[in-house]
C-alpha cells in the first residue's frame, strides 16, 4: 500500500524529512496540496485585485502628480496581474503541483516587482515626512510577502526556494533607492525579513503535517483502513487518465463478501466488522504497494491494479482465495464473489464504465453460485477452501 504520514507527530527521520523536503510525497497528497495552494492563490489574488487599486487614493494625495500617476499605473497593472491569477482554472491532471507552485510564485513576485519599478522614483521624489513614511511602507512589501508564505502548506525547502526571488528583488529595489546596502542602515530590515521567513518556514511545515493528517483521516475508512469511496473515486479518476495517457491498462477487481448479511443477522454487527477487517487484511498481504484498496460500500471492496492486464489478475486472486479471506464467526471460511474489468476492454471510455463492468461481473459470479471470479477471459470456480466446506456440510 502507499505510504502516508502518520497522525502522531513522531520525531523520527521519516517524519522530519517529510516536513523538510517535498520529495517522496505520495501522489494523492501532492495533488491535494496543489489544490489547497491553488485555491488560496486564487482567493488572495481576488482580494488584492480589488484592494490594490483603492490605494491609488493615497498616492494621489501624498505624492506629486507625475509620481502619483506612475504609482497609479503600477497599481492597476498589478491589479490586472492579480485578476489573471484569480481566474478559476482546473487543476492540471499531468502536473498539478508544478501548476500550483508556478501560480504561487507569480503571486509572490507581484508586490516586490511593484516596489522594484517604483523604488528609484520614490527615493528621488520623497521629501516630506508623509512621503518618506509612505515610501518606507512600500519598501516593506517584500517582507510582507515573506510573511504571506506562512498561509501555504509548504515544506521548509519549498519556502526557502520561493523566498530567494522575493529577497533578491527586494535587495535590488534597495540598491535602486539607496545606491548601496549597509548593515547599519538596513540591518533591521534584513533581520525583520529573516524573522518573517523563519515564521513562514515553521508555519508551512506545520500546515503540511496538519493537512496530511486531515487527508489521512478523510481518505481512509475508520473501520478497515481501506480508502473511502469518495477518495477511491478521486483515485480512479486520476489513475484512469494517467494509465490512458501512458497507454497502460488499469484493472479493477470488485469484491463482495458472500452471505455477509447472515453474519450480521446471526452474530451481530461487531462480528460483521471483524469479517470485513479480516478480508481487508488478507487483501493487503497479497496486493502490491502500487495497488489501492477501496471500501466501496458495506461489504463491497474494490482493488485498483494499475498497469496490470486483466488476464494476469485471476491467478493472483486465486492465490489470495487459497490462503483465505478469514473466518466467519462459526469457523467456516469467508468467501467472496469477484468481478474483474480492464480499461483496455472494448467500450470502456471512463472509470465509471470500468466500475460498472466489474460490478456486473461480480453479480454474475454471485448468480453462478458465489465464491467465483468472473473476468472477460473466464470464470474461476470454487476454491479448495470452499470445497472442503461443502464436503463437511454433506
pLDDT digits (tens, 9 = 90+) for 240-264: 988 888 889 999 999 999 999 999 9
| pLDDT of the residue at 171 | 81
Number of domains composing the chain: 2
Look at residue 3 in the predicted model and tell me its pLDDT. Answer: 38
User: What three-state secondary structure class fits 335?
Assistant: coil
Question: Does residue 7 belong to any structural domain of this protein?
Answer: no
Residue closest to 91 by CA, chosen among 102, 81, 83, 80? 102
In a domain, residue 49? The reply is: yes
Q: What's the Cα-to-Cα distance from 16 to each of 147, 155, 178, 209, rounded to whole Å?
A: 23, 10, 41, 10
All 3 cell numbers of residue 385? 477452501
* Domain assignment of residue 256, yes or no: yes
* Angle made by CA atoms 334, 250, 255, in degrees to the nearest 5: 15
Same domain, 189 and 237: no
DSSP 8-state symbol, 221: -
Q: Which of 229, 236, 221 is closest to 350 using CA atoms?
A: 236
Whether 45 maps to a domain, the answer reads yes
343: which residues sit within 8 A by CB, 6+ positions away?
240, 243, 244, 249, 250, 251, 351, 354
CATH number at 379 reads 3.30.70.270
Residue whose C-alpha is closest to residue 6's, from 168, 209, 186, 206: 209
Query: Of 219, 250, 279, which residue is a domain's last?
Result: 219
Q: Do 292 and 153 belong to one domain? A: no
Residue 339 in any domain: the answer is yes
CA distance 30 to 98: 10
Tell whether 2 is covered by a domain.
no
User: Looking at residue 385, what is its pLDDT?
Assistant: 46
In which domain, by residue range, is 78 found? 13-219
DSSP E strands in 106-145: the ranges are none
CB of 338 closer than 8 Å to CB of 365: yes
Across the beta sheet with 300-306, the strand order is 292-297, 300-306, 250-257, 336-342, 373-374, 379-380
Same domain, 257 and 336: yes
Residues 386 and 260 in one domain: yes
What's the confidence (pLDDT) of residue 394? 38
| Domain stop point among 196, 219, 242 | 219
Q: Which residues contact 337 (CB under 8 A, 6 or more apart)?
A: 255, 256, 258, 362, 363, 365, 366, 370, 371, 372
Strands 292-297 and 250-257: unpaired
Question: Which cell goes with 16?
Answer: 522530519
Picking from 168, 190, 219, the residue at the C-terminal end of a domain is: 219
User: Domain for residue 80, yes or no?
Assistant: yes
Residue 234 and residue 200 share a domain: no
CB contact set of 158 (below 8 Å; sequence gap of 6+):
22, 101, 204
Burial pattern 110-146, b for ≥16 Cβ within 10 A else e, equals bbbbbbbbbbebbbebbeeeebeebbeebbbbbbebb
206 lies in the same domain as 62: yes
* One domain for residues 73 and 93: yes
201 and 309 inside one domain: no
Question: For residue 18, what pLDDT is reported?
Answer: 79
Which residue do the cell numbers 481576488 mark?
46
Catalytic residue selected from 233, 299, 300, 387: 299
The reply to whether 256 and 212 lie within a common domain is no
Q: How far apart, in Å, are the Cα atoms of 323 and each of 184, 278, 285, 293?
A: 75, 12, 10, 18
Q: Does residue 61 sit in the same domain as residue 195? A: yes
Rounded Cα distance, 19 and 17, in Å = 5
The sign of the dihedral angle between the CA atoms of 145, 146, 147, 152 is: positive
Q: Do 183 and 252 belong to one domain? A: no
Asked if residue 72 lies in contact with residue 60, where contact means CB atoms within 8 angstroms, the answer is yes
Quote the pLDDT of residue 7: 40
Let me know: does 122 contact 135? Beta carbons within 8 Å: yes
6 inside domain: no
Residues 194 and 235 reside in one and the same domain:
no
C-alpha cell at 339: 468481478
Q: Give residue for cell 502628480.
A: 65
Would you write out the chain's pLDDT as a tens digit for each of its 394 residues? Answer: 333 333 444 556 777 787 888 887 777 788 889 999 999 999 999 999 999 999 999 999 999 999 999 999 999 999 999 999 999 888 887 789 999 999 999 999 999 999 899 888 888 887 899 998 988 888 888 888 999 999 999 999 999 999 999 989 988 877 766 655 566 666 677 788 889 999 999 999 999 888 888 877 888 898 998 999 988 998 898 889 888 888 899 999 999 999 999 999 999 999 999 999 999 998 888 888 888 999 999 999 999 999 888 777 877 777 777 778 888 999 899 999 999 999 999 889 999 999 999 999 999 999 998 888 898 877 766 455 444 444 344 3
234 catalytic, yes or no? Answer: no
- Residue 360 grid cell: 456486473
7 vs 217: CA distance, rounded Å: 8
Amino acid at each position: 500500500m502507499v505510504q502516508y504520514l502518520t497522525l502522531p507527530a513522531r520525531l523520527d527521520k521519516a517524519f522530519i524529512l517529510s516536513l523538510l523536503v517535498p520529495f517522496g510525497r505520495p501522489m494523492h497528497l501532492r495533488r491535494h496540496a496543489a489544490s489547497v495552494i491553488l485555491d488560496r492563490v486564487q482567493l488572495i489574488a481576488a482580494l488584492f485585485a480589488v484592494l490594490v487599486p483603492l490605494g491609488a487614493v493615497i498616492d494621489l494625495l501624498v505624492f506629486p502628480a507625475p509620481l502619483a500617476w506612475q504609482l497609479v499605473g503600477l497599481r492597476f497593472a498589478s491589479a490586472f496581474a492579480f485578476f489573471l491569477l484569480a481566474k478559476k482554472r482546473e487543476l492540471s491532471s499531468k502536473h498539478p503541483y508544478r501548476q500550483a507552485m508556478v501560480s504561487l510564485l507569480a503571486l509572490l513576485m507581484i508586490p516586490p516587482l511593484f516596489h522594484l519599478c517604483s523604488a528609484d522614483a520614490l527615493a528621488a521624489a520623497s521629501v516630506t515626512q508623509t512621503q518618506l513614511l509612505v515610501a518606507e511602507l512600500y519598501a516593506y512589501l517584500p517582507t510582507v510577502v515573506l510573511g504571506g508564505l506562512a498561509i501555504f502548506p509548504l515544506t521548509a525547502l519549498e519556502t526557502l526556494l520561493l523566498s530567494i526571488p522575493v529577497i533578491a528583488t527586494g535587495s535590488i529595489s534597495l540598491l535602486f533607492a539607496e545606491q548601496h546596502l549597509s548593515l547599519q542602515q538596513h540591518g533591521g530590515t534584513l533581520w525583520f525579513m529573516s524573522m518573517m521567513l523563519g515564521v513562514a518556514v515553521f508555519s508551512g511545515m506545520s500546515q503540511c503535517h496538519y493537512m496530511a493528517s486531515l487527508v489521512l483521516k478523510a481518505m481512509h475508512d475508520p473501520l478497515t483502513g481501506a480508502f473511502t469511496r469518495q477518495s477511491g473515486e478521486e483515485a480512479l479518476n486520476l489513475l484512469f487518465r494517467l494509465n490512458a495517457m501512458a497507454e497502460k491498462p488499469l484493472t479493477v477487481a470488485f469484491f463482495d463478501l458472500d452471505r455477509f448479511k447472515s453474519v450480521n443477522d446471526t452474530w451481530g454487527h461487531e462480528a460483521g466488522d471483524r469479517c470485513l477487517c479480516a478480508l481487508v487484511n488478507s487483501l493487503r498481504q497479497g496486493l502490491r504497494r502500487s495497488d489501492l484498496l477501496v471500501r466501496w460500500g458495506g461489504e463491497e471492496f474494490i482493488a485498483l491494479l494499475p498497469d496490470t492486464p486483466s488476464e494476469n489478475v485471476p491467478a493472483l486472486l486465486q492465490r489470495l482465495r487459497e490462503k483465505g479471506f478469514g473466518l466467519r464467526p462459526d469457523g467456516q471460511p469467508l468467501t467472496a464473489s469477484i468481478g474483474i474489468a480492464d480499461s483496455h476492454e472494448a467500450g470502456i471510455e471512463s472509470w465509471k464504465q470500468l466500475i460498472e463492468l466489474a460490478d456486473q461481473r461480480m453479480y454474475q459470479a454471485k448468480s453462478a453460485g458465489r465464491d467465483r471470479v468472473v473476468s472477460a477471459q473466464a470464470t474461476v470456480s470454487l476454491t479448495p477452501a470452499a470445497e472442503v466446506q461443502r464436503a463437511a456440510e454433506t
